[in-house]
Amino acid sequence: MGWEFWTKQLDEEELVVDGGFEDYSTTTGSSSSSSRAAGMNGTGPSNLVDPLEDPLPGVGTYEDFNTIDWVREKSKDRDRHREITNKSRQSTVALLHSISDAFSGWLLMLLVGLMAGALAGGIDIAAHWLNDMKGGVCLIGFWFNHEHCCWTSNETTFQERDRCPQWQSWAELITGTSEGAFAYVVNYLMYIFWALLFAFLAVTLVRAFAPYACGSGIPEIKTILSGFIIRGYLGKWTLIIKTITLVLAVSSGLSLGKEGPLVHVACCCANILCHLFTKYRKNEAKRREVLSAAAAVGVSVAFGAPIGGVLFSLEEVSYYFPLKTLWRSFFAALVAAFTLRSINPFGNSRLVLFYVEFHAPWKREYVFSLHLPGKSTILGHYPVIEVLVVAALTAIIAYPNSYTRMSGAELISELFNDCSLLDSSQLCGYKQPTNTSETGAGNSLADRPAGEGLYTALWQLALALVFKMMITVITFGMKVPSGLFIPSMAVGAIAGRLLGVGMEQLAYYHHDWFIFKGWCSPGADCITPGLYAMVGAAACLGGVTRMTVSLVVIMFELTGGLEYIVPLMAATMTSKWVADAFGREGIYEAHIRLNGYPFLEAKEEFEYSSLAVDVMRPRRADPALAVLTQEGMTVGEVETLVESTHYSGFPVVVSQESQRLVGFVLRRDLLISIDNARKRQEGVVSASQVVFTEHAPTQPDDAPPPLRLRGIMDLSPFTVTDHTPMDITVDIFRKLGLRQCLVTHNGRLLGIITKKDILKHMAQIANRDPESILFN
């Protein structure tokens, strides 16, 4: 069949995958319908069991660490939809069922948005509370965090707005004073104690109950959305443990964020809720549409960016993203954002802790990029010890520096801050204006010379930059929930703020230089360091993840201003180009490759001139391809063949001599059908013939009844000729999400190409170990 598939009946339903469209009119579903009719008219005993006439439990499902058959799943859904539509014309009940089936997708999106938004709100509140617990406790209620504890106090001052009698540090509780070296040591030790306790609880819970709860989850979700199956990765235990340990890991002070893992949490919610709806529970392709929308929900609640979340799902993680999924993703992200805003976890009606709003227009801002490398540690073989060592190291080094002691979100908020007359932050420690001509418009100030407070903040930030870059490389990949968004943004924001202050001082003292001439006059607000921090955060995150459009929109939704899109776009593209010079892989693609997942990256071009015959199996020195014949083999012979091999499927040919291709049958379906036939069909024994033809062959009267398995056979397997260029073959695999493709020559079967064969071939060409592709 091969190329005919690409050109037939383009007016049929199209599947949009990575921007391509393919026709699904010639699929297993349509061929199975014809085989059903043929089976009914076939000859033979009346008690024969046809697996399609009487669907068997397990047939059409997949084993763990296998790839789904997108074509079969889409065909099943189209047949189901056609059947519902036909029945809806016959009765009112069937019509109502049809309406409910159409509405079920939107209802599921509503539930996913509500559940993910509620969980994100709870995670934010709990993480904020536990993070503050490292510094002290609220006397009027231990469940209050520092900010909430001091809300009702009338004894706070403007300079020390975070100090109130209701909140006491551990030194005050233990020693009765908050001043002096001993009090500092007590607070220091308590900070380390809580950090180690939280980290230990996080890694222990992950190892004991849900090993899949570690990491950010985004690389695995990308792989799952491409059709790979990882049982339990999106299960209820993973959701429960990830939610709890995410709070603990973030609160421990480790250099990680909760934003990436929130995508995993949202996808777990979606996968669990899918089981409430039959059409999503029984169809892997339909479920992946929901998971694509859930990825958008995760980013929506992580950054308060519903539109950015939809674009993130489309650009970064989704493999199959039809138009209806775009609409439902938008709806689910909207519901999730509204739910999170209703919970109001930060008490400021904002969805994130570091929401900022600049008022000064951008001018000639300068962009830069940072690229964080991957990590590999000796301690990686001992995950609990690794987490405890890194947590202790982080706490010991971070505590003396106020900028490393605070959480990542608080640090970013501080760095994004635009100094005004009322700010008491060290970063706003400029020399005070001596006359009104140095005061800018509104509440902002013109560029001013740096004071002692700012100089202190700058060297602390410089140390924080070095520390954050080093510790983030070590932390990412440990066996606790860990996101890279916030640490990457923090590194970029620190570098951006340092650069912004440097440019500000240059503009103040040398406003007559050519780079400032014409747009920066004395007494003007020429440079906004907070804007540099924001652009730096976007540039660093873009360099690490290679996000572009979605990142710009996320940052735009964070700042609430359209006028900064141009510098953000320039920074994002520059960071991508610079990072691509070091390597084309983003952090998630590198993670997928290191884990050996069978993922065909759409961004990676196949630039080599090999042919299908160069990649297919068997090779010249290999044993002949294991095949089934359409008739003539017994149940015992089939079982022996299956048990002696580990293949996930077998081609069906006319005979061993002709090798003319008839179809393809999956190993799992074959085993389940034989097992059920032995139980349900009287007389089926090892000597019974296995038949894949429309009509059972004539047999002697004393012969056992044959086993008809035409119903589980794919009558239109994807084929290419032996001289098909591999770049075209790879394109077919990517755009159709194929598991395998058969290679023929003039209709005669030569071999088979699987996704794993392609990945091994690509790894070999790139001088990588082909055995690093671990899964089939």
Q: Map out the domains of the chain as residue ranges.
A: 100-343, 378-430+446-595, 612-772
Q: Is 2 left (phi over 0), alpha (psi -120 to 50) or beta?
A: left
List residues bridging with 138 in a β-sheet. Answer: 167
Closest CA to 692 of 750, 628, 642: 628
- Round to whole Å and give the CA distance between 755 and 720: 14
Average pLDDT of the residues in 739-758: 91
Question: How high is the pLDDT of residue 59?
Answer: 76
Through-space distance between the first and last CA atoms of the chain, rounded to whole angstroms: 25
Cβ contact 649:669 at 8 Å: no
Q: Is the pLDDT of residue 765 over 90?
A: no
Q: Which residues contact 93 (CB under 8 A, 6 or more apart)?
A: none
Strand locations in 578-688, DSSP E? 628-629, 633-634, 649-653, 661-666
Question: How high is the pLDDT of residue 156?
Answer: 61
Strand locations in 151-222, DSSP E? 167-169
Pull the structure tokens for residue 285.
Answer: 């392709």
Q: Is the pLDDT of residue 464 over 80?
A: yes
Place of tokens 């964080």: 372
Q: Is the pLDDT of residue 754 over 70?
A: yes
Across all residues in the chain, what is the average pLDDT?
Answer: 83
Q: Which residues contact 322 (CB under 8 A, 6 or more apart)?
A: 15, 16, 289
Question: How high is the pLDDT of residue 201?
Answer: 96
At 188-219, the pLDDT tens digits run 999 999 999 999 999 999 999 999 999 999 99
Print the SS3 string covering 437-494: HHCCCCCECCCCCECHHHHHHHHHHHHHHHHHHHHHHHHCCCCCECECHHHHHHHHHH
Cβ contact 50:708 at 8 Å: yes
- Which residues in 38-54 are b (16+ Cβ under 10 Å) and which e? bbeebebeeebbbbbee
Q: Are strands 628-629 and 649-653 parallel, antiparallel or unpaired?
A: parallel
- Round to whole Å and give the CA distance between 547 and 317: 11
Question: How high is the pLDDT of residue 294?
Answer: 96
User: Which H or E element spans position 752?
Assistant: strand 748-754
Alpha-carbon dihedral 56, 60, 64, 68, rounded to 10 degrees: -170
Question: How high is the pLDDT of residue 542?
Answer: 93
Closest CA to 260 of 497, 55, 481: 481
Pull the structure tokens for residue 94.
Answer: 């069937």
Question: How high is the pLDDT of residue 29?
Answer: 38
Tell me, yes or no, if the two domains 100-343 and 378-430+446-595 fold the same way: yes
Q: Are strands 167-169 and 136-138 parallel, antiparallel or unpaired?
A: antiparallel
Residue type (1 letter), 126: A
Closest CA to 542 of 563, 569, 566: 569
Place of tokens 């993910």: 116
416 versus 17: the higher-pLDDT residue is 416
Question: How high is the pLDDT of residue 20?
Answer: 35
Question: How high is the pLDDT of residue 289?
Answer: 94
Residue type (1 letter), 338: F
Q: Strand order of the sheet with strand 707-708?
A: 633-634, 689-691, 707-708
Q: Which fold has domain 378-430+446-595?
A: Clc chloride channel (1.10.3080)
Cβ contact 68:284 at 8 Å: yes
User: Which H or E element spans position 137?
Assistant: strand 136-138
Q: How many helices (H) and strands (E) does the chain have?
A: 28, 13
Cis peptide before 618 (omega within 30 of 0): yes
Average pLDDT of the residues in 104-112: 95
- Round to whole Å and give the CA distance between 138 and 578: 47
Confidence of residue 55 (pLDDT cuts 50, 70, 90): low
- 612-772 has which CATH code? 3.10.580.20
At 291-340, the pLDDT tens digits run 999 999 999 999 889 999 999 999 999 988 889 999 999 999 999 999 99
Average pLDDT of the residues in 412-428: 81
Q: Is 413 helix (H, G, I), strand (E, B) or coil?
A: helix
Q: Is 541 helix (H, G, I), strand (E, B) or coil?
A: helix
Average pLDDT of the residues in 2-30: 35
Closest CA to 630 of 546, 552, 696, 723: 696
Place of tokens 């690093």: 772
Confidence of residue 654 (pLDDT cuts 50, 70, 90): very high
451 versus 691: the higher-pLDDT residue is 691
Q: Is 79 helix (H, G, I), strand (E, B) or coil?
A: helix
- Round to whole Å and give the CA distance between 301 and 341: 9
Question: How high is the pLDDT of residue 775?
Answer: 60
Pull the structure tokens for residue 349.
Answer: 């009606």
Q: Strand order of the sheet with strand 661-666?
A: 628-629, 649-653, 661-666
Question: How high is the pLDDT of residue 433?
Answer: 62
Q: How many CA atoms lie within 13 A of 111 on its CB side?
A: 18
Q: What is the CA radius of gyration of the chain?
A: 31
Pull the structure tokens for residue 58.
Answer: 């397990």
Question: How high is the pLDDT of residue 405?
Answer: 92
At 288-304, the pLDDT tens digits run 999 999 999 999 999 88
Average pLDDT of the residues in 563-574: 88
Question: How high is the pLDDT of residue 637?
Answer: 92
- Round to whole Å and give the CA distance between 598 and 327: 29
Question: How high is the pLDDT of residue 365?
Answer: 45
Q: Which residues contact 145 (CB under 8 A, 6 or more apart)?
A: 128, 129, 131, 132, 138
Q: Which fold has domain 100-343?
A: Clc chloride channel (1.10.3080)
Q: Which residues contact 603 (CB under 8 A, 6 or more apart)?
A: 584, 589
Alpha-carbon dihedral 111, 112, 117, 119, rounded to 10 degrees: 100
Q: Is 62 left (phi over 0), alpha (psi -120 to 50) or beta?
A: beta
At 129-183, the pLDDT tens digits run 999 999 999 888 888 888 888 877 766 655 566 678 888 899 999 888 888 899 9
Question: How high is the pLDDT of residue 422?
Answer: 66
Average pLDDT of the residues in 373-386: 69
Confidence of residue 737 (pLDDT cuts 50, 70, 90): confident
Confidence of residue 402 (pLDDT cuts 50, 70, 90): very high
- Round to whole Å and give the CA distance between 480 and 251: 12
Q: Is 751 helix (H, G, I), strand (E, B) or coil?
A: strand
- Which residues in 413-429 are b (16+ Cβ under 10 Å) and which e? bbbbbbbeeeeeebbbb
Q: What is the DSSP string of 659-727?
A: -BEEEEEEHHHHHHHHHHHHHHSTT--TTSEEE-SSSPPP--TTSPPPEE-GGGSBSS--EEETT-BHH
- Round to whole Å and give the CA distance between 217 and 587: 12
Q: Is the pLDDT of residue 60 over 90?
A: no
